[in-house]
């Protein structure tokens, strides 16, 4: 697995491994990969490599999946494994059309031939017409156990919300140790903190809605835990680092602040599972409003 991931980041000109590819590697190792994933990248290569890695992992017969050497991995690499199907593209735009989606949906209920999973790769998924995306919904909503869908696209946002709410998105171009993203995470955490006193929850939900990926969510939650910790310190020492921490300390009592810290730790644990980000924001907002 290392070979593919590190090779990929080298070839794409970046020395740091994309945070999401690390996350993906973790999800694969813990067997947590869901039945449908979206791989998002502006470049073809990271998608190609990641698809290959996931396919090998899903069909591998070796001990350490993917082993890259068993006959199943070799077939996956050569593109001739019977349980891996790449959707046919048609038209000038090279899209998966509704007819092809119907073929896939019918086939998806038939058991795999050799592997434990049957994999469908959907290239250019963000160019699929609404009708074609809708035709996929049923099988994504109630997937047969052995199914794995891989949506490949340049922009996940162009997929229907009804699809996005049922898949896990891995933005492969996202760099975890990007200074900019660290700063943005802190600012998002501050904006969430500013709305923690809003018990109606609307502005809180808006602030939480800015959390759109699992990796940034993890950073934001960690920042929030620190901010609430500083508010607790303010109640004890009277000293605060900024006005938001001071205001939280002034408007909330010790019990509420401790309860919020507990909720944030639970939230952080939740992010280690494959939680959908829309559901996560809604869950967190409800918890924070019901904090007493
Ligand atoms: Zn293998």
**For the segment 17-72, what is each residue's pLDDT rounded down to a tens digit?**
566 777 788 888 888 788 999 999 999 988 999 999 999 999 999 988 899 999 99
Ligand 1 centroid distance, CA of 63 (Å): 8
Ligand 1 centroid distance, CA of 30 (Å): 16
Ligand 1 centroid distance, CA of 289 (Å): 48
3-state SS, residue 212: coil
Ligand 1 centroid distance, CA of 32 (Å): 18
pLDDT for residue 278: 83
Ligand 1 centroid distance, CA of 23 (Å): 21
Ligand 1 centroid distance, CA of 73 (Å): 4
Ligand 1 centroid distance, CA of 88 (Å): 26
Q: Is residue 277 scored above 90 in pLDDT?
A: no
pLDDT for residue 271: 87
Reading phi first (left if > 0) and then psi (alpha if -120 to 50, else beta), residue 79 is in left
pLDDT for residue 178: 54
Ligand 1 centroid distance, CA of 83 (Å): 14
CATH number of this structure's domain 179-289: 1.20.272.10
Ligand 1 centroid distance, CA of 113 (Å): 16
Distances in whole angstroms, Cα of residue 230 to Cα of each of 127, 189, 193, 240, 243? 46, 13, 11, 7, 11
pLDDT higher at 94 or 2 = 94
- pLDDT band at residue 5 using 50, 70 and 90 as cut-offs: very low
Ligand 1 centroid distance, CA of 172 (Å): 23
pLDDT higher at 177 or 13 = 177
Angle of helix 19-29 relative to helix 2-11, nearest 10 degrees, comes to 170
Task: For residue 123, say if its preceding peptide bond is cis, omega within 30 degrees of 0.
Answer: no
pLDDT higher at 272 or 102 = 102
pLDDT for residue 114: 95
Q: Is residue 126 scored above 90 in pLDDT?
A: yes
- The boundaries of every CATH 3.40.50.300 domain in the chain are 2-171
Query: Is the alpha carbon torsion for 180, 157, 41, 274 positive or negative?
Result: positive
Residue 102 in tokens:
């119907």
Ligand 1 centroid distance, CA of 67 (Å): 4
Listed range (97-111, 134-148, 200-214, 217-231) with the worst mean pLDDT? 200-214
202: enclosing H helix or E strand: helix 202-208
Ligand 1 centroid distance, CA of 56 (Å): 6
Beta bridge partner(s), residue 119: 84, 148
Percent of the chain whose pLDDT exceeds 70? 90
Show Cβ contacts of residue 188 under 8 Å, excluding neighbours closer than 6 positions. 207, 210, 211, 216, 220, 223
| Domain topology for 2-171 | Rossmann fold (3.40.50)
Ligand 1 centroid distance, CA of 26 (Å): 17
122 close to 157: Cβ distance less than 8 angstroms: no
Average pLDDT over residues 160-164: 90
Listed range (68-77, 195-204, 218-227) with the worst mean pLDDT? 195-204
Ligand 1 centroid distance, CA of 273 (Å): 25
- The boundaries of every CATH 1.20.272.10 domain in the chain are 179-289
Give CA–CA dist 174/18, Å, rounded.
Answer: 6
Ligand 1 centroid distance, CA of 58 (Å): 9
Residue 192 in tokens:
């969430």
pLDDT for residue 10: 26
């Amino acid at each position: 697995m290392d070979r593919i991931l590190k090779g990929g980041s080298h070839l794409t000109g970046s020395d740091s491994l994309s945070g999401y590819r690390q996350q993906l590697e973790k999800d694969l190792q813990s067997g947590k990969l869901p039945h449908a994933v979206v791989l998002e990248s502006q470049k073809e290569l990271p998608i190609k490599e990641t698809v290959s890695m996931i396919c090998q992992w899903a069909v591998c017969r070796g001990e350490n999946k993917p082993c890259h050497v068993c006959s199943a991995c070799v077939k996956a690499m050569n593109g001739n494994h019977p349980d891996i199907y790449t959707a046919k593209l048609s038209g000038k735009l090279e899209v998966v059309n509704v007819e092809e989606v119907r073929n896939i949906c019918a086939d998806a209920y038939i058991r795999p031939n050799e592997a434990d999973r049957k994999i469908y790769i959907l290239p250019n998924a963000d160019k699929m017409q609404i009708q074609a995306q809708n035709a996929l919904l049923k099988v994504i909503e109630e997937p047969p156990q052995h199914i794995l869908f891989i949506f490949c696209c340049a922009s996940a946002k162009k997929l229907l919300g009804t699809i996005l709410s049922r898949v896990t998105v891995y933005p492969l171009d996202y760099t975890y140790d990007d200074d900019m993203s660290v700063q943005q995470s802190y600012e998002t955490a501050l904006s969430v903190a500013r709305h923690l006193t809003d018990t109606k929850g609307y502005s809180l939900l808006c602030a939480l809605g800015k959390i759109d990926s699992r990796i940034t969510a993890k950073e934001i939650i960690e920042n929030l835990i620190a901010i609430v910790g500083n508010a607790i310190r303010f109640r004890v020492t009277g000293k605060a680092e900024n006005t938001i921490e001071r205001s939280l300390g002034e408007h909330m009592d010790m019990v509420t602040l401790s309860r919020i810290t507990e909720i944030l730790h639970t939230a952080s644990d939740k992010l280690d599972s494959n939680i959908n980000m829309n559901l996560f924001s809604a869950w967190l907002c409800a918890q924070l409003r019901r904090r007493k």
